[in-house]
Structure 1
Amino acid sequence: MSLVTRRELLGHAGALGLGAAFLPHAARVVRAGESGRPAKGETPDGVVLEVVESGGLSHYSYFLADTEAGVAAVIDPRRDVAAYLKLAEEHGVTITLAIETHVHADFVSGARELADRTGTARIAASVEGGADYGFPIDRKLKDGDTLEVGSVRLRAIHTPGHTPEHMSYVASTKGADRPWALFTGDFLFIGSIGRPDLMGVKNTEGLAKKLYQSVQTAYANLPAALPIHPAHGPGSPCGANIQKPKGTPTLGRERDANPYWRIEDQADFIDALLAAQPAIPYYWPRMKQANAAGPKILGDRPAPEALDPAAFEKLIAGGEVQLVDTQLMFGYAGGHIRGATDLGYNEVMSLWGGWTLDYDKPIALVVPETADAVGPQDWLARVDLTEVRGVLKGGMTAWVKSGRPFDSFKTMPVREVHDAFPTDAMQLLDIRQPSEWDMGHVEGAKYIFLPELPKRLNELDRSRPVVVYCGNGYRATVGASLLRKHGFDARTVPGSWDAWTAAGLPVTTPKSPGKPSDTTRLSA
């Protein structure tokens, strides 16, 4: 294994945009995935291993079953547990374990939900590192403890650093020495490792040191060919620049290619690791607290009540609810109820809902006519936004046909933006991540990171239209909706940066890029 120096790692980080996380794909009308897909790597006869992906959060949970024994476990379950119940029914097994790798900060755990819905699933969680929970843990795990799922044996490996209690689990068949799967949670990702800065400044350095030790020792005796199964993939802010696997990801490949596995010096490791982390989403402390205390059990919830335009207007008129539109970018621009925050009908609304919505207000939903409200209800619940009071029956078509007022705004193609700017007649606003700005932006644009828009409105001129761009248009629509709610004449650039670069239009870059976690940038 070749070593990497701090200078080489930081160069690698800058070249790859380390920290450019949670970039949403173009929104489309899709329902939350309610089934898994086979995880990569071979499993013993009679054993099923499927991954259930939660888009937007880039979260992977794992359904592990011994079909001959008729039992299954779920590792790091999400809050909406229908996918696991469906898999259990398909494979004819009973879920007997809900296993946590750690106390999650980016989503609400579904372990309690799964235990309640099945009546058979016991919760297993680490009590290493002083971990304490406000709800009953059936199996309190320490390093070296084992769990059994039929013929499958899961051995807990304490891997602190991302959190003090973090556990990995290595799977083998009872009576056999050769392991065949390693569940790494938020400790090891493809091309990255978990961030150590989620428990406050005073704990960061200590956790970073523990993370370094975990890298050096935790998996030292495990074989290189062992397939790994992390809890997150590309797009998650839980690590810097998490990669997409090529083929079957193995421990040996990470030992050779993961830059953090190749730093020999502890101080260089900590320095480079902390320099690479993206901004921490505002809502994460709430998730951490909820998961430690014990998330409220939601049960089998009905779909939100469908309200005709008159009833829906009455619901939103008093200001006691927040109005969330989930139309796609062109639909929202073409017509929406004034004051609505647009999140687009896509699982990524989990992330941006957590960033932008008010946790103290119930939600009133508008969804596209071809979609249902169950998807958004599930996606928002993943980040503890659970109170949806109603959905507009018939969508915006019914609202418009009822004669009620609606708002709309202009969109601008990239060539029109290029021809118009710089100009005193409009403001061009880049709302992407700091690392995206550093990799290239439009000359003359102002920079404000999307989640910071509501508290930085005074930096924009209300007398001039604001033209908003992002990576592909999704976040631009979110940003425009926030601005319009505060009285700005905001417009969007469909396709945004993707379209700009595809058209070969000019790009400028800063002379001195900053840290991904530093959300301030000088406009150029």
Structure 2
Amino acid sequence: MKSITQLPTIKGIEQIYTGCLAQGAYYIQSKGEVAIIDPLREVEPYIEKAEKDNAKIKYIFETHFHADFVSGHLTLAKKTGASIVFGPTANPSFEATIAEDNQEFKVGDFTIKVLHTPGHTMESSTYLLKDKNGKDLAIFSGDTLFLGDVGRPDLAQKAASMTQEELAGMLFESLRNKIMPLADDVIVFPAHGAGSACGKNMMKETVDTLGNQKKMNYALRADMTKEEFIKEVTDGLAPPPLYFPLNVKMNKEGYDDLDEVLLRGTRELSPDAFETAANETGAIVLDVRHQNDFVKGHIPRSVFIGIDGGFAPWAGALIADTAQPILIVAPQGREKETVTRLSRVGFDNTLGFLKGGFEAWKSAGKETDTLKSISAETFKDQLLSQNIPVFDVRKESEYLSSHVKEAQLTSLDFLNDHLSAFPKEKDFYLYCAGGYRSVIAASILKARGIHNIIDVAGGYAHIKKTEIPVAEATCPSTIKQ
């Protein structure tokens, strides 16, 4: 969930970091005026904070049209009367201020200057914060500059009618001309941290000085040529999640208020009503309990994505279509949280949740299913005595580092592209790093009629503790993205 960190070095600035999205929003307050940068979908915390500070939200600054989450700019503007501000070239379908490069906005004693920094997207802008004396204090860099990385230049190719190499070249110029000339003591507040799909090499820290980034960020090397930058920034980019363009569309064109989404999504459904809704609407039954609970028993053909893992990004990557109807099986008391977190990545078509959870489903005598799961020790014994196929659903980088010798790579990120790789009748093993992703993968396979799965509980973390032969620093054996 969200954590709010007071940054004592700059009074009046708070970073609101949401770990499950690896996303940073910002609250800036001075003399009763507030600016919010890149707000989350649920806006009440910002409003409550401003009321507590006896302040008024004056501006909502968006660094760009986000792809990995739905911003709260429209709802926040509606509820507060604040002006939405985008950088140059933005063309939203709603009323907003489209700032000019170097245009300045006053927030109490602070001045926020717009630096147009295209490259990640064409409208991408960095907001430079100045104090009352005109001293540069901080930059809110959006997806232009991360800590340890820069924004990927391949997401806006279609909209910009440019190649990723051309966008990377623009990003190079933006960094060199707008950001790197700033003083080393300027603080960098990025839109994302480690774990976000918007970059590939981000640090776990969420705040740093620009001077330190100039020293250690590969993309800010002073002696780097434009050609070197383009090559390094575009090298090794994995395909973006399929829900990204849909989130951009929502951020650009509009969406339902979260209140309406919650009203629909938190309807209590009895087991009979739940079953009827699933049959009549074609909804995905999404089970967000712990993987151990799902393994022991679940609704047939339901998909597992646990609320306590990388929930929203995995839902976005694997369900993909944000219009897909969804029915929820959740731990008691976490239904609203589930609907809220789905809405953050654009899944607004939640139809309700199973009242009483899975236990109510069982008590009603409904059909149930289980997933065969074994320990790493049992896996070792069976692997040594039988010739059963093994599949590794981790990321390619994890697989390349070390994997079970017999394992084939079928990354969860692209599982839907590799369904033909799995045997339809012969049993096979499935593992990930810690047991979360393998159960997600198993649930998807079972929903598609593949039931001959043996999950390795605890994943590679437990496998390494046995003496199962592993391979290190090799190429993927069969499956490539």
Range class of TM-score, shorter chain: over 0.9
Secondary structure of the structure 2 residue equivalent to 1:276: coil
- 1:403 aligns with one of 354, 365, 369: 365
Q: In structure 2, how many angstroms separate the alpha carbons of the residues matched to 1:478 and 1:333?
A: 10
Q: Structure 1's 505 and 117: CA in aligned 2 closer, same or farther, altered over 3 A?
A: farther
- Counting only pairs closer than 5 Å after superposition, residues 178-217 of structure 1 correspond to structure 2 as 178-200=135-157, 202-217=162-177
- Secondary structure of 1:409's counterpart equals coil
Q: Is residue 387 from structure 1 mapped to residue 349 from structure 2 by the alignment?
A: yes
Q: Does the CA contact (< 8 Å) of 1:425 and 1:465 recur in 2?
A: no
How high is the TM-score relative to the length of structure 1? 0.85
Offset at residue 427 of structure 1 (A): 2.7
1:81 lines up with 2:43 in the alignment: yes
Assess if the C-alpha contact under 8 Å between 1:336 and 1:406 holds in 2. yes
Q: Deviations over 1:423-457 (max 9, x none)?
A: 65633211111222111211111211214323422
Given the alignment of the two structures, is residue 121 of structure 1 paired with residue 82 of structure 2, yes or no?
Answer: yes
Q: Normalising by structure 2, report the TM-score.
A: 0.92
Q: Which has the higher contact order (CA 8 A, sep 6+)?
A: 1
Could you tell me how far 1:361 is from its partner in structure 2?
2.8
CA separation of 1:512 and 1:455: change in aligned 2, threshold 3 A: closer
Establish whether residue 59 from structure 1 lines up as the match of residue 23 from structure 2.
Answer: yes
Q: 1:116 to 1:348 in 2, by over 3 A?
A: farther
Distance 2:68 2:464 in 1: 32
Counterpart residue identity of residue 324, structure 2: K
Please show how residues 93-492 of structure 1 align to structure 2 within 5 Å.
93-118=55-80, 120-127=81-88, 130-137=89-96, 139-174=97-132, 176-200=133-157, 202-245=162-205, 249-262=208-221, 264-299=224-259, 301-302=262-263, 304-318=266-280, 320-346=282-308, 348-357=310-319, 358-369=321-332, 371-421=333-383, 426-489=388-451, 490-492=453-455
Q: CA deviation at 1:400?
A: 1.2
Cα distance in 2 for partners of 1:381, 1:401 equals 31
Task: State the 1:257 CA deviation.
Answer: 0.8
Alpha-carbon distance between aligned partners in 2 of 1:420 and 1:473, rounded to the nearest angstrom = 18
Q: Quote how far apart the aligned CAs of 1:50 are.
A: 1.7
How far apart, in 1, do the equivalents of 2:44 and 2:171 lie?
A: 34
Instruction: Determine if contact 1:466/1:488 at 8 Å carries over to the other structure.
Output: no
- Identity across the alignment (%): 30
Shift of 1:386: 0.4
* Equivalent residue letter for 2:156: M
Deviations 1:44-72 (A, max 9, x none): 4xx2x222222332111111112xx2221
Q: Quote the residue 1:495 is aligned against.
A: 458
Cα displacement (A) at 1:506:
4.0
Structure 1 CA distance, aligned partners of 2:50 and 2:457?
A: 42
CA distance in 2, matches of 1:146, 1:447: 51
Task: Verify the 8 A CA contact 1:341 1:478 in the aligned structure 2.
Answer: yes
Query: Partner residue of 1:3?
Result: none
| 1:499, distance to aligned residue in structure 2 (A) | 2.7
Instruction: Supply the distance in 2 between the matched residues of 1:271 and 1:251 (Cα, whole angstroms).
Output: 23
- Tell me the distance in 1 between the aligned counterparts of 2:187 and 2:243: 32
Any idea what the Cα deviations from partners look like across 1:310-359, whole Å, max 9, x if unmatched?
Answer: 22122223352111111111010011100101111137221111112243
In 1, Cα distance between equivalents of 2:193 and 2:479: 23
SS of 1:52's equivalent in the other structure is strand
Report the more deviating stretch, 176-185 or 410-419.
Answer: 410-419
Residues 101 and 167, structure 1, Cα contact 8 Å, conserved in 2: yes
Contact 2:116/2:124 (8 A) holds in 1: yes
Q: 1:511 to 1:480 in 2, by over 3 A?
A: closer
Deviation at residue 498 of structure 1 after TM alignment: 2.6
Question: Partners in 2 of 1:134 and 1:205 — Cα distance?
Answer: 28
Q: Which ranges of structure 2 fall in alignment gaps of 5 or more residues? A: none
Q: Which amino acid aligns with 2:151?
A: G
Whether contact under 8 Å (1:324, 1:366) holds in the other structure is yes
Aligned pair count?
473
Superposition deviation, residue 422 in structure 1: 5.9
Q: Tell me which amino acid in the other structure corresponds to 1:76.
A: D
The answer (yes or no) to whether the contact 1:102–1:126 under 8 Å persists in 2 is yes
Provide the C-alpha distance between the structure 1 equivalents of 2:384 and 2:65, rounded to a whole number of angstroms: 48
1:350 partner amino acid:
A
SS at match of 2:139: strand
Name stretches of at least 5 consecutive residues in structure 1 with no aligned partner: 1-31
Q: In 2, are the aligned partners of 1:434 and 1:519 still within 8 Å (CA)?
A: no
Partners of 2:86 and 2:36 lie apart in 1 by: 12
Q: Deviations over 1:146-203 (max 9, x none)?
A: 12221211111111111111111111222x1322221111111111111111123743
Contact 2:41 2:343 in 1 (8 A): yes
| Distance verdict in 2 for CA 1:360–1:165, change over 3 Å | closer
SS state of the match for residue 285, structure 1? helix
Whole-angstrom CA distance in 1 between matches of 2:55 and 2:134? 26
Change (3 A) 1:151 1:315: same
RMSD value over aligned CA atoms? 2.3
Q: CA deviation at 1:204?
A: 1.0
Instruction: Kindly indicate whether the alpha-carbon contact (under 8 Å) linking 1:101 and 1:185 is maintained by their aligned counterparts in 2.
Output: yes
